[in-house]
């Protein structure tokens, strides 16, 4: 029998069928299949234990009854009972071979994975910087984590919509336009637009502080913009256009392409409906001139209402985000919405989603799954916010540049004989990948400790280590005169030695790693898996010579090399990294 991409789900189905024959399903039996400690097997079903307890039965006897009904499963698995009633499953070598034969390319892995969210639409709102400002190191995480989440969701079969929810509307434009009209440096605008906008804003701000007349003028510029004045709108468009073009240079390096850039301004004409609907639903009410939503049942928000229209009648972040949820549900028919920002916005999104839940229920509109994916701060090794030597914020542009320079050192030490142009090209990939991977290899909820030496290194759980593993396998094929794109391994036999078997067993768990990373929206589960896989490959490669005379042994081992290559590359691409032929 052919095993599916995710072996655990296959076991889950078999255990459910077996439990149904015993009449346990109606009484709430759950198989609870998970990846096992390799010493015990490949997968473990824990469900008999909890169920037997609730039914006051002997768990081991119950587990045995379930196993007795499993029928054909022992063709592929060694099955045994352990402890008080765990069922352990160990894949037999023939079953391992079957799986490895089926999943021989990125495309086939993708096809295997794509059933989980097939037919669903997921919208991911990430990066989402404010315009007229540089992206700094703090903006890195949302972009990197968001892109990995997009790719994981697409891998599981969803149609993914990437939406850059830029902050392109706000009171800062008054001072900015005031300064733009009087002090714009055209040459600076052409070469470094974001620096120029920052300079202009600072100038507008200090002038307004020094002179009340300037403050009034700046406020009038804002009022004119909001009223649709043509000249001010044109400047505002120019600022946003130039900002996005500058952002795109960074997105290009990170491999990011947005489908939409519906910034805050896109929702300007959509907030009136929010005030009306929430008031009609009895959720919003006036309080001291403002419009607010109370959540009396909530321990914190009962006293801290969600302000959705300011006293002066202006919209705010909350009203615009409510309009955003509605638009994504109505226009894109999103089944799921993911917004990626740092943890400091946790309260905002909790109140937003709480409000949306009540509101959608009141109007009987299906509610998408709402996720706020948060992450911690970026700190230096001293635990403090990451700064330049003179205390300024680090620009993302400079950071990526430095990463590539440092990677160039590393590559030049390792492969001094490569032509310089190639070393530069490799360093371009390794530098950016190192920065991405350092972020994605840590649990996103933790602060991200930024340490160049750990990040750009061939040792440890780093991008360079994994990219090197990829390049090393490619070189095995080069030396054997084989093309990994058409490896001709049809006659390969099942794994035999301890290391061959261990590597094959690890390869089969790729699906569990991607599933876990996708269901929790935490890419580090995939990173950890790839790191462990590379380690398993090293152990195999050290123990078992691949290019040997014996054709049967050689083909069998080349199959393992090839599938390790395919899984490593697929996994790294899912994280948003580019991979290399050699390094």
Give me the residues that bind ligand ARG (CB under 6 A), please.
125, 128-130, 165, 167, 321, 324, 339, 341
Q: Which is nearer to ligand ARG, 128 or 462 (CB)?
A: 128
Q: Which is nearer to ligand ARG, 133 or 199 (CB)?
A: 133
CA distance 405 to 411: 10
- 3-class DSSP state for residue 92? coil
What are the residues facing 292 on neighbouring strands? Answer: 285, 307
- 3-class DSSP state for residue 136? strand
- 3-class DSSP state for residue 378? strand
At its nearest, how many Å lie between ligand ARG and the CB of residue 176?
16
The upper half-sphere exposure of residue 399, i.e. CA atoms within 13 Å in the direction of its Cβ, equals: 28
Q: Which is nearer to ligand ARG, 141 or 556 (CB)?
A: 141
At its nearest, how many Å lie between ligand ARG and the CB of residue 334?
13
At its nearest, how many Å lie between ligand ARG and the CB of residue 263?
8
**Helix residue ranges per DSSP H, 227-262:** 230-254
Please report, in angstroms and rounded to a whole number, the separation of the first and last CA atoms in the chain. 40
Q: Which is nearer to ligand ARG, 247 or 437 (CB)?
A: 247
At its nearest, how many Å lie between ligand ARG and the CB of residue 282?
25
At its nearest, how many Å lie between ligand ARG and the CB of residue 413?
39
Q: Which is nearer to ligand ARG, 160 or 583 (CB)?
A: 160
Q: Which is nearer to ligand ARG, 128 or 240 (CB)?
A: 128
Q: Which is nearer to ligand ARG, 374 or 462 (CB)?
A: 374
At its nearest, how many Å lie between ligand ARG and the CB of residue 312?
21
CA distance 215 to 26: 71
Q: Which is nearer to ligand ARG, 105 or 130 (CB)?
A: 130
Q: Which is nearer to ligand ARG, 342 or 402 (CB)?
A: 342
CA distance 497 to 93: 10
CA-derived radius of gyration, the chain: 28
At its nearest, how many Å lie between ligand ARG and the CB of residue 450?
20
Are 35 and 7 in contact by the 8 Å Cβ rule? The answer is: no
Q: Which is nearer to ligand ARG, 60 or 310 (CB)?
A: 310
Q: Which is nearer to ligand ARG, 76 or 125 (CB)?
A: 125
Total count of residues recorded for the chain: 583
Burial class (CB in 10 A: 0-12, 13-18, 19+), 39: exposed
- 3-class DSSP state for residue 283? coil
CA distance 518 to 152: 6
- 3-class DSSP state for residue 115? coil
At its nearest, how many Å lie between ligand ARG and the CB of residue 188?
24
At its nearest, how many Å lie between ligand ARG and the CB of residue 385?
16
Residues 6+ apart with CB under 8 A from 216: none
- Residue 225: CB atoms within 10 A of its CB come to 19
CA distance 78 to 58: 23
At its nearest, how many Å lie between ligand ARG and the CB of residue 319?
12
The upper half-sphere exposure of residue 492, i.e. CA atoms within 13 Å in the direction of its Cβ, equals: 28
Phi, psi (rounded to 5 degrees) for 84: -75, -5
**C-alpha torsion 67→71→73→78, nearest 10:** 50
**Helix residue ranges per DSSP H, 316-462:** 317-330, 346-362, 396-414, 420-440, 452-455
At its nearest, how many Å lie between ligand ARG and the CB of residue 437?
24
What are the residues facing 136 on neighbouring strands? Answer: 395
């Amino acid at each position: 029998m052919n095993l599916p991409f995710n072996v655990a789900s296959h076991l889950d189905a078999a255990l459910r069928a077996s439990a149904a024959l015993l009449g346990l399903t109606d009484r709430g039996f759950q198989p609870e299949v998970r990846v096992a400690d390799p010493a015990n097997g490949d997968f473990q079903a824990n469900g008999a234990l909890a169920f037997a307890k609730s039914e006051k039965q002997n768990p081991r006897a119950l587990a045995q009854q379930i196993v007795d009904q499993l029928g054909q499963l022992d063709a592929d698995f060694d099955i045994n009972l352990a402890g008080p009633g765990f069922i352990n499953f160990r894949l037999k070598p023939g079953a391992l071979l079957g799986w490895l034969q089926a999943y021989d390319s990125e495309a086939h892995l993708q096809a295997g994975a794509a059933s989980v969210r097939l037919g669903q639409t997921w919208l991911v709102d990430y990066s989402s910087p404010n315009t007229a400002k540089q992206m700094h190191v703090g903006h890195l995480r949302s972009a990197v984590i968001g892109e990995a989440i997009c790719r994981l969701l697409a891998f599981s079969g969803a149609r993914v919509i990437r939406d850059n929810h830029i902050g392109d509307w706000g009171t800062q434009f008054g001072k900015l336009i005031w300064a733009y009209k009087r002090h714009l440096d055209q040459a600076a605008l052409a070469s470094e637009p974001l620096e120029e906008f920052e300079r202009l804003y600072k100038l507008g701000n200090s002038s307004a502080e020094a002179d009340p007349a300037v403050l009034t003028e700046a406020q009038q510029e804002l009022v004119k913009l909001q009223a649709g004045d043509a000249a001010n709108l044109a400047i505002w468009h120019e600022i946003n256009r130039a900002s996005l073009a500058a952002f795109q240079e960074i997105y290009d390096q990170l491999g990011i392409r947005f489908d939409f850039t519906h910034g805050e301004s896109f929702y300007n004409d959509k907030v009136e409906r929010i005030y009306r609907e929430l008031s009609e639903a009895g959720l919003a009410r006036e309080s001291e001139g403002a419009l607010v939503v109370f959540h009396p049942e909530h321990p914190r928000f009962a006293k801290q209402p969600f302000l959705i229209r300011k006293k002066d009648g202006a919209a705010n972040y909350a009203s615009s985000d409510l309009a955003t949820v509605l638009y994504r549900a109505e226009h894109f028919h999103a089944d799921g919405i993911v917004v990626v920002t740092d943890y400091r916005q946790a309260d905002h999104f909790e109140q937003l989603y709480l409000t949306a839940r009540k509101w959608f229920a009141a109007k009987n509109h299906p509610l998408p799954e709402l996720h706020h994916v948060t992450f911690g701060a970026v700190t230096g090794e001293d635990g403090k916010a990451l700064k330049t030597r003179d205390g300024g914020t680090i620009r993302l542009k400079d950071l990526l540049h430095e990463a590539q320079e440092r990677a160039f050192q590393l590559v030049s030490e390792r492969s001094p004989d490569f032509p310089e142009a190639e070393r530069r090209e490799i360093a371009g990939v390794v530098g950016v990948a190192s920065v991405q991977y350092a972020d994605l290899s840590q649990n996103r909820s933790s602060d991200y400790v930024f340490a160049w030496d750990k990040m750009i290194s061939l040792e440890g759980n780093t991008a360079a280590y994994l990219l090197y593993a990829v390049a090393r396998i490619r070189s095995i094929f080069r030396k054997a005169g084989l093309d990994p794109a058409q490896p001709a391994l049809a006659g390969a036999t099942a794994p035999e030695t301890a290391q061959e078997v261990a590597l094959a067993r690890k390869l089969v768990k790729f699906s569990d790693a991607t599933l876990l990373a996708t269901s929790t929206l935490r890419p580090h589960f995939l990173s950890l898996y790839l790191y462990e896989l590379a380690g398993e490959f090293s152990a195999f490669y050290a123990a078992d010579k691949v290019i040997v005379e014996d054709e049967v042994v050689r083909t069998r081992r080349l199959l393992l090399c090839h599938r390790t290559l395919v899984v490593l590359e697929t996994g790294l691409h899912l994280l948003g990294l580019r991979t290399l032929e050699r390094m």
